[in-house]
Chain A
Amino acid sequence: MYQNDLFERLRANAARSGTRSFRSAISPTVWALGLTSFLTDISSEMVTSVLPVYLFNYLRLSPVQFGAVDAVYNGLSVALIAVVVGIAADRTRRYKAAAATGYGLSAVCKLLLIAAGGTWTGIMAAVGLDRLGKGIRTAPRDAMISLSTSKHDMGLAFGVHRAMDSAGALLGPVVAFAFLMVVGSNSFSGLWLVSFLIAVTGLSALWLFVPRIVQARETADTRNQPFISTVRMPGFIALLLCGTLLAMCTVSDAFLYVLIQEKSNIGFGYVPLFYVATAATFMLFAVSAGKLADRFGLQRIFIMGYCLLVVIYALLLSSQSLSGVLSVACLVMLGLFYAATEGVLMAMASLLIPAGHRTTGLALLLTGVGLGKFTSSLMFGWLWQSGGIDLALTVFVAACVVTVVVSHFVLFRFRHA
């Protein structure tokens, strides 16, 4: 009830203050990149959602082999190669080409998946290259979003992009399911081919609608400054550290879903719906959160997002069992957390990093966040196994509270750097 109310208010708000400034705030480049991400996410999520079934029930991989594929899938996004590509993109200002390389690589991987047939090493290579493609494309894409947006609309622009991105992620599994239902449940090669074709439309949206040279809207050209001066900027270092540390205190979604499922006693088969609830909330609120961030301060909304996360952990820690309403509330709050932090972090970084080093800086931040998430998963799993779930949650709540408070002061201190 209260969520509905909030939603209605935000919608009314968006409608009132909206349309005119919305048009001018969001450049065609951002729409085009949003379209690219929308299509690419349909393509990649239709593979992701079916991959476990394919590996397990169809190819009958053993858990050890499955684990190896899964580790590659989750681990390789932390690729330092993204930073190298970032430097190249900044030097040549060919952001579009850099992003296209990443999108193209991911598209080709769908074909490799067909070529791999049933060999699990082949699948691992395809999956690894797909993640590499994601690692390569994210920083130049976000750099293009920020470069074609005025600094007053940074939160909104990233919000619009993330909303389109998560809409694609929501549609992917539906497309995959519909295809398998119409064609027959073992037509995996056909499915990979469909995924490839959708990836091609995404790539062509990038190619046709994004200008080859993105003109920075207002920041002066800083290409000739040595990169090291950006890296040494206190504001950027502060954000990099805060982003990484906060990622280290963030319990991965997979763990949260298992916890919510166990405490609420909702059937195991419904866990994928948790993902849908979170992604749908993210999609619905990304734009509003971005707008609010532009009005009241990116830092403020970002910190508020993490406060929501602390509330979720505290709820899970304090209650032996979750009612249905509280479980849904947790999932909605998780979606709001993403809406308030995911794009907003990149928006904050974009305001701190000079245009000439935008891609490199964003790539560094993404790498830091990726490493933070990876460490968090290892630590949380280890704490859970050795000391029990209550200990793991207590440690993470405590760490999260301390880091959020520290980040609050640090981010405000360096906000105008």
Chain B
Amino acid sequence: MPDRRATLLFAGICAACLAGIVLIAVWTRMHAVSGHHGSPSERAQLHQPLAAGRLYFRYTGMGPDYGRLAFLDHHKTAINYHPDLSCEAVHASGGRGLCLSADRGVMTTYTAYVFDMSTHEVLGEFQLSGAPSRTRVSPGGRIAASTVFVTGHSYASVDFSTQTMLYDLVALEPIADLETFTVVRDGETISRADFNFWGVTFLPDEQVFYATLSSAGEHHLVKGDIPSRTAIVIHDQVECPSVSPDGTRVAYKRRTTLPGGVSWDLHVLRLGDGQDVALADKRSIDDQLEWLDDEHVLYSVPDKSSPAVTNVWTNRADGSGTAELFLDGAYSPAVVR
């Protein structure tokens, strides 16, 4: 039997630790609440006038509103929040939006919510099979895509596998998993077990899209056709494409593998003649770009203070100029024209 002194001491330590836990809980809660009474829009500050109709984003400023779905309207500076939704990634166009959210708990589940831009009403939802990464809504608001990371599908958990789904936002039904598409390269159908798709971007006709196909360490740009369920490999070394509003160019990130990890440079590819320019930003950027207009792109970069806080930057799409801060405390910008 343990002696009395040891038992008492142990009880004392447990009581002290329990008190500590309660203190931590109370302090953290108070801290969060006091942040609420400050000015909530302090972090999310617009550095340039907004020419677009509306800008949706995930708010990443510290405090109780962290992660909420936010938006800014044309010529206004005050941030509005969606009454209900928090998003890991968001995109909106043509009156509808898709918000990929994480419902944390003992089991973290992931759901994609379809919302109406004018009424904020949640129109429908889709279950996601992993942690959200990218999403895009087609220009007319009829179709959307989501990319999530599905863990455990690859050896020793070192590699990750993705799942990219297409949804019909009018019928509120899934259309297809991109891995069911027929992939064609140089006129021949190819198929491999390690195919992964991510980063869909839609053309205005809402039938055709671009996306990344990764296989055996290579990253290809594919052009997909929804009615025929086919995807044709059209270019190499393209990740997370984003097609320009006029449909002539694709902004993307290009991977460089370094000894210490991976670095991504931003590029714009002209689809007609294959001309490629690097954007004027030396940082490594892991994002799917968004076009502000036909001459400018937007992308998120982690803040120096904490990687949980991100800021949105803007840059010229022709490789000239420099990156400029566009909006503080924001991630996953979606420009609604």
Contact = CB atoms under 8 A, between A and B. Distances in A.
B158 A67 contact: yes
Interface stretch (A3-11, A264-272, A394-402): A264-272
Contacts of B13: 200-201, 204
A257 interface: yes
Interface in A167-191: 173-174, 177, 179-187, 189-190
A381 B152 CA distance: 9
A64 B261 contact: yes
A315 interface: no
B156 A59 contact: no
Interface stretch (B21-29, B134-142, B265-273): B21-29
Contacts of A63: 149, 160
Interface string A235-264: 000000000000000000011011000000
Interface stretch (B118-126, B169-177, B302-310, B321-329): B302-310
Interface in B94-113: 102, 104-110
Nearest to B302: A60
A378 B152 CA distance: 12
Range class of the A interface residue count: 35 or more
Interface string A45-82: 00001001100111111111111101100110000000
B106 A182 contact: no
A108 interface: no
A180 to B, nearest CB: 7
Contact of A59 (B27, B29, B102, B308): B308
Contacts of B6: 208-209
A174 B331 CA distance: 30
A201 B28 CA distance: 22
A322 B158 CA distance: 28
A67 B159 contact: yes
Nearest to A209: B2
Given A56-B131, A70-B158, 5 more contacts: A53-B108, A74-B156, A117-B306, A118-B306, A183-B29
A198 interface: yes
A120 B2 CA distance: 43
13 contacts: A53-B104, A53-B108, A56-B149, A57-B88, A57-B102, A57-B104, A66-B160, A183-B28, A184-B28, A187-B32, A198-B21, A257-B152, A388-B193
A280 to B, nearest CB: 13
B160 A385 contact: no
B2 A28 contact: yes
Contacts of B7: 208
B112 to A, nearest CB: 13
B45 interface: no
A194 B17 CA distance: 8
Contacts of A201: 10, 13-14, 17
Contacts of A270: 107
Contacts of A267: 109, 127
Interface string B155-198: 11111100000000000000000000000000000000110000
Contacts of B308: 58-60, 118, 186
B160 A67 contact: yes
Contact of B155 (A68, A177, A186, A381): A381
Interface string B67-95: 10000000000000000000010000000
Contacts of B193: 385-386, 388
A173 B108 CA distance: 11
B129 interface: yes
Nearest to A194: B21
Contacts of A381: 154-156
SS class of chain A's interface: helix, strand, loop or mixed?
helix
Contacts of B151: 52, 254
B20 interface: yes
Interface of B: 1-2, 6-7, 9-10, 13-14, 17, 20-21, 24-25, 27-29, 32, 64, 66-67, 88, 102, 104-110, 127, 129-132, 149-160, 193-194, 261-262, 286, 302, 306-308, 310, 331
Interface string A185-227: 1110110011001101100110011000000000000000000
A197 B157 contact: no
A157 B88 CA distance: 47
A387 to B, nearest CB: 9
B105 A177 contact: yes
Contact of B156 (A118, A187, A194, A374): A374
A154 interface: no
Contacts of A269: 107-110, 127
A53 B110 CA distance: 11
B32 A272 contact: no
Nearest to B260: A121
Contacts of B108: 52-53, 269, 272
A58 B1 CA distance: 46
Contacts of A174: 106
A201 B1 CA distance: 19
Which among B1, B27, B151, B158 has the greatest number of chain A C-beta atoms within 10 A?
A: B158
Contacts of B152: 254-255, 257-258
Given A268-B127, A381-B154, A59 B307 contact: yes
A273 B108 CA distance: 11
B307 A118 contact: yes
